[in-house]
Structure formats: C-alpha cells, structure tokens
Amino acid sequence: MAETFHIGFILFPALTQLDLTGPAQVLSRMSGAKLHFLAASMDGVPSDCGLSLLPTGTFAAAPPLNMVCVPGGAGVDTLISDPASLDYIRRAGEGADYVTSVCTGSLVLGAAGLLKGYQATCHWAWRDLLPLFGAYPVEDRVVIDRNRITGGGVTAGIDFAFAVIERLRGRDEAEMIRLALEYDPQPIGMGGTPSTARSDILQGLRRRYDAIGVPARREALVRIATILNVTAT
Amino acid sequence: MAETFHIGFILFPALTQLDLTGPAQVLSRMSGAKLHFLAASMDGVPSDCGLSLLPTGTFAAAPPLNMVCVPGGAGVDTLISDPASLDYIRRAGEGADYVTSVCTGSLVLGAAGLLKGYQATCHWAWRDLLPLFGAYPVEDRVVIDRNRITGGGVTAGIDFAFAVIERLRGRDEAEMIRLALEYDPQPIGMGGTPSTARSDILQGLRRRYDAIGVPARREALVRIATILNVTAT
C-alpha cells in the first residue's frame, strides 16, 4: 500500500476546467493519491465553460501538500493580483515535494516566485511570458526541472499527469492507468501546435485571440509582473 | 454567427468526471454552442475523484436540447435504476438532433431505449454489455450511426467531441479548436486498449477490476436490463 500522497489543485474563477479535470482524473487513479480541490472560499468556482466546480477545502484550512498543481485560464490575471491567494500558493509550493502546473498555471507559479531559475512550459500562446517571472521557457508538452513539473496547454495536462505517475510510481502503474482510462488518442486532422497546424488555421486563431482580448491580457500580465518584481534578487 | 446549439450534459453521482469535462471543454469552443449541465436536482454532484460539479439546471426545467451527452462511471447502475432520470434522458434524446455518450454512458442511452438497432461503443471493459439494450457493439474510439455518436472509455470523450465539431462545423473549425487546446497528445509507454497494452498490464488491471467489484456491477446491469426489457419489440 503506497503512503498517502496529498495533491492540491488550485481552483479560481474562470479557470480552464480541463487544465484541472484532466490531470485530476488521471492522478486520482494513482496508488495512495488523495486529491484536494482548494479555493479562497467554499463557494462553487465558475470555470470558463459554464461548469462550476466545488472546492473540498479552503486555502486557509488546507493540509500540507505533497504536490501542488495550478491550472490556467482567463482568470489567471485576477488570481495573481490577489496577494492572499498568491501567498497561499507560494507557501504551499515551498512546502511541497512537487510544484506543478498545466497551461498558463505556470505563470501563476512564476508570479508566486516558484519558477525563478527553473525551466518550464506553458500554453504555446503564453509561453514567451515566462521570463517575466524568471523562468526559462521550453517548447515541450511536459517539462521536468528538478521538482518543478509543468504541462503545456489544456490537453497537455493529461500527459503531464501520466508523467507524474511514471516518475512517482513507475512505468507499469502509468500504463495500467492508461489502459483503464483508454488513453489511445486519435486526434482529427492536423495540428495541435503552432508548428504542426496549417498556417491559415494558426493565423485564424491568432485573429480570434486578438478579437477576444488576448493582447490586453498579455499586457496586464506584464504590468502585474513589473509590480510583483519576482525576478529581482 | 452560428445558430445556438444547445448541448445538455447529464450529471449523476459517481460519474467519471473526465467523461464529461473532456468533451465539455472541447465543445464549449464550438461556434454557437451553449452548454447545459443537467441533474435531478441543483445540488453539487460528487464525481468519482472527489471533485463535485454544480448543475446549471434540473432535468425538470431543462430547455429543449439539440444534443444530449451522457457520461459514464460507477454511478451508471444507480442512474438507470431511477425511472424519473431515465425517463428524462429518453425524452431529451427523442427530442434531440444528436444522442451521444462517452464511456459507459452508452449503457445509459441503451437503458433509455435510445440505442435499439444502433451501432455504438463504450469503455472496452463494458462494451460487450451493449446488446443487453439492443445495441450493436463496435470496437472503435468514436462510433457514428445516423444521429447516435458514442465515444469509448474516458479520454475518448475528447476525440468524440472533436468528431462532433468536425461533423457540425467542418474540419477547419475542429483543427482551430485543436490548436487552441494544444491537442497534440504524447502518451507514455504502450497500451491504451486491450489489444495494444502489455498482456501483464491487462491481466493486472482485470485483477484490479475484480477486486473493486466490477463483476458485481456487470451482474447488476444484466439484472436491470432484464427488468427494463428494452430489446423487446
């Protein structure tokens, strides 16, 4: 019987829910895993797609964690603008054996000062912002640097979770969970990354990002990073 | 601007949350999509991994749906034993343009009489039970038979959702959403299906299924199917 391994997922309004629900599903099958869904309060947390998730505990009353995992989403700017939440994430990360993220959750880890001097990944459209927080961006789906494990955009959270299980419990357990979750992905068409997508699809998506305010959100992150001044020694 | 396309996901206790949250994430990006998360009551619905999901509406007050999608999970037996829930799913399915499921959700569609004479898929460990409900099992990740679209186990829900978008909105929109969600899966190791997994991994998982009561749940489904008597004309 594996020792209990406490994994805390950070919930915040306007998170991209699959960033969290993908790895939560996979990691919930890991031997000894105990999952905690933590938020500033016990209220339901609205995600980006109309579905709200219920926390199992608050930041204030959270147990010590073996691993903290921060998902991403449009709510990242607001989350890192809240000193109490950011302070909790910093303390949880400093006390954890593993400090992890999916998608733009790595920007949150960065803002909390937890990625200074570490290699990390992020959703491809945001990865270049990691140096704002002293991290070294790596173009990969899952990046492991010492005890920091970061996953790329959204669906990368599933591969991230299997990488965690492989590291903690070995390849055999990871493959058994892979079979249980029937993880034999068969993506339609081309793409999935900027370098493999059709160029007109990439350009169309960039126009869409412009239309839904991504440039303003990027600028907001730059402003917040300046205020937080994480990279200073 | 695409016309609003109402998609209703069915929530029930002990669902496998990724069966629902995977396709919900993908389909939420489809032009015109409006997602509804429907349950017997407005209470939080506990999933299989400690995370509870909040409904946005009840079966009794649900709007007409263009598409109904039923996830699977250990709670399927209880769900199909509840005449009121099963009756709602039957009526919603009969009125919908598309009747869909992920994982053992196809057994629910079957129990509601919605798969009689249709080809369908299911989680691999449960697929052989589809004939209990008059459906023809197909060993595939996504199966489309007229307006019935069924996905295989858990992670197949993501490929299922992209197949729906490709059918409704075309390949280009599906590829753009694929890029936005960075869907470039990189599974670790071997397996993902019984025929591709290492045989000792498959045998180990079957022993684990025995240990956690899968045989008893299969027997329960046979009993319920006998009572529901869906295959009779």
Amino acid identity at B208 = R
Looking only at the bridges linking them, the beta strands covering A142-145 and B52-54 are unpaired
Burial of B172 (0-12, 13-18, 19+ CB in 10 A): middle
pLDDT in tens, B122-167: 999 999 999 999 999 999 999 999 999 999 999 999 999 999 999 9
Residue B32 sits at the chain A interface (C-beta within 8 Å) = no
**HSE-up (13 A, CA, CB side) for residue B155:** 28
Q: How far is it, in rounded angstroms, from Cα A57 to Cα A74?
A: 22
Is residue B28's pLDDT more than 80?
A: yes
Question: Which residue is listed with tokens 């009993």?
Answer: B223
Query: pLDDT tens per residue, chain A (233 residues)?
Result: 568 999 999 999 999 999 999 999 999 999 999 999 999 999 999 999 999 999 999 999 999 999 999 999 999 999 999 999 999 999 999 999 999 999 999 999 999 999 999 999 999 999 999 999 999 999 999 999 999 999 999 999 999 999 999 999 999 999 999 999 999 999 999 899 999 999 999 999 999 999 999 999 999 999 999 999 887 65
pLDDT band at residue B65 using 50, 70 and 90 as cut-offs: very high
Residue A228 Ramachandran class (φ > 0 left, ψ -120 to 50 alpha, else beta):
alpha
pLDDT given at position A96: 98
What distance in Å separates residue B61's CA from the closest CA in chain A? 17
Is residue B3's pLDDT more than 90?
A: no
Q: How far is it, in rounded angstroms, from Cα B148 to Cα B109?
A: 10
Q: Please name the residues in contact with B63: beta carbons below 8 A apart, sequence gap of 6 or more.
A: B6, B36, B57
CB B156 within 8 A of CB B106: no
The interface residues of chain B toward chain A in range 62-101, judged by CB-CB distance below 8 A, are: none
Q: Please name the residues in contact with B163: beta carbons below 8 A apart, sequence gap of 6 or more.
A: A188, B142, B144, B149
**3 state DSSP class of A122:** coil
pLDDT in tens, B11-24: 999 999 999 999 99
pLDDT given at position B231: 80
What distance in Å separates residue B223's CA from the closest CA in chain A? 25
Residue A211 sits at the chain B interface (C-beta within 8 Å) = no
* DSSP H or E segment with residue B221: helix B214-228
Among A25, A123, A188, whose Cβ lies nearest the Cβ of B162?
A: A188
The interface residues of chain B toward chain A in range 178-197, judged by CB-CB distance below 8 A, are: 178-194, 196-197
* DSSP H or E segment with residue B68: strand B67-70
Question: Which residue is listed with tokens 């699977």?
Answer: B72
Residue B1 sits at the chain A interface (C-beta within 8 Å) = no
Helix A17-27 with A156-169: angle, nearest 10 deg: 30
Residues on chain A touching B159 (C-beta within 8 angstroms): 185-188
Residue A51 Ramachandran class (φ > 0 left, ψ -120 to 50 alpha, else beta):
beta
What distance in Å separates residue A12's CA from the closest CA in chain B? 14
Is residue B202's pLDDT more than 90?
A: yes
Q: How far is it, in rounded angstroms, from Cα B74 to Cα B49?
A: 11
Q: What proportion of chain B, given as a percentage, has pLDDT over 70?
A: 98
Is residue B68's pLDDT more than 90?
A: yes
Looking only at the bridges linking them, the beta strands covering B142-145 and B148-151 are antiparallel
pLDDT band at residue B233 using 50, 70 and 90 as cut-offs: low
Residue A182 Ramachandran class (φ > 0 left, ψ -120 to 50 alpha, else beta):
left
pLDDT given at position B1: 57
Q: Please name the residues in contact with A28: beta carbons below 8 A apart, sequence gap of 6 or more.
A: A35, B48, B49, B50
A122 counts as catalytic: no
Q: How far is it, in rounded angstroms, from Cα B104 to Cα B74?
A: 9
Is residue B187's pLDDT more than 90?
A: yes
Question: Which residue ranges form the domains of chain B, and what is each CATH number?
Answer: 5-228 (3.40.50.880)
Tell me the ipTM for this assembly: 0.96
Looking only at the bridges linking them, the beta strands covering B52-54 and A52-54 are antiparallel
pLDDT given at position A142: 98
pLDDT given at position A233: 58
Burial code (b: 16+ CB inside 10 Å, e: under 16) for A56-65 equals beebeebeeb
CB A129 within 8 A of CB A120: no
